[in-house]
Amino acid sequence: MSNEINFVIDGVEVTGKPGQTILEACDEAGIYIPRLCRHPELTPRGSCRLCTVLVNGRPQAACTQPITEGMIVESETEELNENRRNIIDMLFVEGNHFCMFCERSGNCELQALGYRFGILAPKYDYFYPKREIDATHPDIFIDRNRCILCGRCVEASRTVDGKGVFEFVGRGPERKIAINAEQFLKDTNLKITDKAADVCPVGAIIKKRTAFTTPIGKRKYDKKPIGSDIEEKRKKD
Amino acid sequence: MAKPKIATAALTSCFGCHMSVLDIDERILELIEIIDFDKSPINDIKKFTGQCAIGLIEGGCGNEENVHVLQEFRKHCDILIALGDCAIMGDIPAMRNNIPLKECLDEAYLNGPSVHNPEKIIPNDKEIPLCLDRVYPCSEIVKIDYSLPGCPPNAEIIWQALVAILNNKPLDLPYEIIKYD
């Protein structure tokens, strides 16, 4: 069996390895596909659907779809980017995302995607849902106002930490992150060194006493859009 | 030809966005070469003197007077800009949006730890604008033409947006000046 798989994305020929997903192969080739729930060290879930691309004309999540020889992938189309923008808009209005006092602001992946897509304001009306905060743990707090239900903490706690501190409960608009304890986060075996405390793309799970250490202007996405580290790989070649 | 007019207002907000308008520094001299300020807290003109080209709205609608002012602005301004996160999404004042109004008033006037109110009066004079059940983003009350995010928006985004709109150009804002915080 060949150790190379060739496919085309947006007219660019890419060579990947067997077993790679579209997203992984494109990352290596320096082509950025927007994504939110995907974390490079965790099993992809395909839950946010931001990375949806057209594979031979059919929509597929690039983070879960393996590459195959000769596939034609479209990503940077007007329609797909419009869909992505809509997903970002909806995530903003479905939660309570107060960037101005959020500890993650400037390093937040949701916010960074808003910036990358040049979103000045969501096009939908805000929900202002009532969500719960749990700050009982000595080192970590969870603020569900900012949660986008990406599932990274669930996955990290289960597979990396081997604990299962977080889990989804409820369906539809009632869906939320629950914790594996009678009541409070302090009653779980979550530790500050756990992967689960480290992977939140937004400000929902924050380590205490780490906020606002980087001045405005030097934060991760202040000057460069999210994905530019990947895109720079291609420019160098 | 008369210069186009700009009107501004602050609704439920902290006035920070207006401070940011002044933050364009000496460019304000350039600005008043091409526009006149109409009704605005900057010049303390209380009433519209005529139709304005641009209305800048800071703040969301937290009481009935805010709604009235916003509707007046929509009537008198060709282009209405939601300036800052309060106007766009309610921002800090909207933190009360999922708490019943009565609970908010009770906490502010009766139960708060620093409250001294022996007669237990919650202000209800008819001169005081009535609080709405929640804080409404401007776009839920009237049509908004442009939104400039930020808390406050930086002077650069305000300047570049005004220059583009006054010159009938599309907003082509650089990455670094679009911020939500």
Q: What is the CATH number of the domain that holds B47?
A: 3.40.50.700
| Last residue of one domain, picked from the residues A50, A76, A102 | A76
What is the count of residue pairs from A and B with beta carbons less than 8 Å apart? Answer: 66
Q: A105 contacts in B (CB within 8 Å)?
A: 180-181
Name which of B123, B103, B101 is nearest B112 in CA terms: B103
Q: Are residues A54 and A92 in the same domain?
A: no
State the pLDDT at residue A2: 75
Residue B64 in domain: yes
Most B CBs within 10 Å, among A120, A124, A221, to test the B interface: A120
Domain assignment of residue A57, yes or no: yes
| B27: amino acid identity, one letter | R
* A88 and A202 belong to one structural domain: yes
Instruction: Examine residue A187 and state whether it is found in any structural domain, yes or no.
Output: yes
CB contact under 8 A, B94 and A128: yes
Looking at the fold, whether A127 and A173 belong to one and the same domain comes out as yes
| Per-residue confidence (pLDDT) for residue A237, from 0 to 100 | 60
Q: Is B22 contained in some domain?
A: yes
Alpha helices of chain B — where are they, by DSSP H? 16-22, 27-34, 64-76, 85-89, 101-106, 155-166
Partner residue facing A225 (CB), from B175, B180, B181? B175
Q: Which amino acid is at A188?
A: T
For residue B152, is the peptide bond before it cis, meaning its omega torsion is within 30 degrees of 0? yes
**Structure tokens given for B174:** 């650089």
Structural domain contains residue B56: yes
C-alpha span between B48 and B28 (Å, rounded): 21
Q: Mark which residues 208-237 of A lie under 8 Å from B by CB.
A: 216, 222-225
CATH code at position A10: 3.10.20.740
In this prediction, residue B2 carries a pLDDT of 86
Within-domain flag for A224: no
Q: Cβ contact (<8 Å) for A121 and B178?
A: no
Q: What is the domain-level CATH number for residue A195?
A: 3.30.70.20
In a domain, B142, yes or no: yes
Range of the domain at A46: 5-76
pLDDT value for B148: 98
In a domain, B105, yes or no: no
Report chain A's terminal Cα–Cα distance, integer Å.
Answer: 28
Residue A202 lies in a domain: yes
* Cβ contact B140–A125 (<8 Å): yes
Residues A127 and A38 in one domain: no
Alpha helices in A156-199 (DSSP H): none
For residue B144, give its domain range: 5-96+134-177
- Domain membership of residue A190 (yes or no) is yes
CA distance B58 to chain A (A): 14
Do A142 and A101 share a structural domain?
yes
The residue ranges of chain B whose pLDDT is under 50 are none
Q: Find tokens 């419009």 and name the residue.
A: A82
User: Which pair of tokens denotes residue B151?
Assistant: 């808390």
Q: Are residues A172 and A203 in the same domain?
A: yes
- Please indicate, yes or no, whether residues A167 and A109 belong to a single structural domain of this protein: yes
Flag if A114 and B94 touch (Cβ within 8 Å).
no
Indicate the number of domains in chain B.
1
Of the candidates A76, A99, A125, which is a domain's last residue? A76
pLDDT computed for residue A134 by the predictor: 97
Determine, for residues B180 and A225 on separate chains, whether the beta-carbon distance falls below 8 Å.
Answer: no
Is residue B107 included in any domain, yes or no?
Answer: no
Separation of alpha carbons A157 and A197, rounded Å: 9
Regions of chain A with pLDDT less than 50: none
pLDDT at A109: 98
- Which helix H or strand E contains A114, and what residues bound it? helix A109-116
Q: Looking at the domain assignment, is residue B42 inside a domain?
A: yes
Out of A13, A44, A76, a domain closes at: A76
Is residue B111 a part of any domain in this protein? no
> For position A235, what pLDDT does the model report?
72
Instruction: Name the domain count of chain A.
Output: 2
Smallest CA-to-CA distance from A228 within A4, A31, A71, A42 is with: A31
Looking at the complex, does the CB of residue A128 fall below 8 Å from at least one CB of chain B?
yes
Judgement on whether residues A141 and A183 belong to the same structural domain of the protein: yes
CA of A138 vs chain B CAs: smallest distance (Å): 25
For residue B152, list chain A residues with Cβ-Cβ distance below 8 A. Answer: none
In angstroms, what CA-CA distances link A205 with A90, A152, A169, B15, B112?
20, 11, 17, 32, 29
Chain B contact for A102 (CB, 8 A cutoff): yes
Shared-domain flag, residues A60 and A112 = no
> Residue A220 falls within a domain, yes or no?
no
- Asked if A105 and B139 come within 8 Å (Cβ–Cβ), the reply is no
